Every structure is written in structure tokens, then in C-alpha cells.
Amino acid sequence: MAEETLFSKIIRREIPADIVYQDELVTAFRDIAPKAPTHILIVPNILIPTANDAVAGHEAALGRMITVAAKIAKEEGIAEDGYRLIINCNQHGGQEVYHIHLHLVGGRPLGPMIAH
């Protein structure tokens, strides 16, 4: 079984975080080191370490991550101008916490997706 991460403790509210949304499938909270004016992490409440570990049984939670991102983007006032959704996978993808998470980033022009 995969090891719990800091995100598991945030989901259970055992450690403080600025939680902006939580339901039975996902939890969303502000990134502690934001890369843009709006930088929110949306995580499934069950531990899925990486995108490689996603299976059909996770589809409800993974889909909810995107619908919640759209809801939060609207609430944050960034939906109309646009935003970026990012899921990093493993070392080369830049994943730092091994509990799959969707970055909702916006509030300013973000430039090219990958710097050359």
C-alpha cells in the first residue's frame, strides 16, 4: 500500500491548510508556495500516488477534480481570462508529493506551458 502524505493529513484536517472546498471525493486548498495569484491544489480524498496508479474505479474522484477546478476558477474570478490545470507525474514530470493532485493556476498571463 502507498504511504500517506502530508495531503492525507490535510484532507482529515489534522494539520492546518487554507481549504477552499471539500466533499466526499476531493479536497481543495491553497498552495503554500503559490506560483501565481491563484494557486490551488485539488486532491482526491483517497490516496492515488501518481497518474500511473489511476484505475477505472478512480474516475469519479478524478473527474470531480476537474469540475471542482472549474467551480473554484469561477469563484476566484479567473475563469473568464483563463487558467491552467496541471498534474505532474513522477520525477521527470516534477511531482513532489506522491498523492496525485491537480494544480489550478491563474490570475495572470502564464506564458508558454513549457519553457525552452
54-99 residue pLDDT tens: 999 999 999 999 999 999 999 999 999 999 999 999 999 999 999 9
What span, in angstroms and rounded, lies between the C-alpha atoms of 88 and 98? 10
Q: Which three cell numbers stand for residue 40?
A: 490551488
What 3-state class would DSSP assign to 21?
strand
CB 20 within 8 A of CB 28: yes
What 3-state class would DSSP assign to 58?
helix
Average pLDDT value for the chain: 95
Regarding pTM above 0.85, the answer is: yes
Q: Taking the CB of residue 86, how many other CB atoms lie within 10 A of it?
A: 14
Catalytic residue set: 101
Q: Which domains does the chain have, with CATH numbers?
A: 6-106 (3.30.428.10)
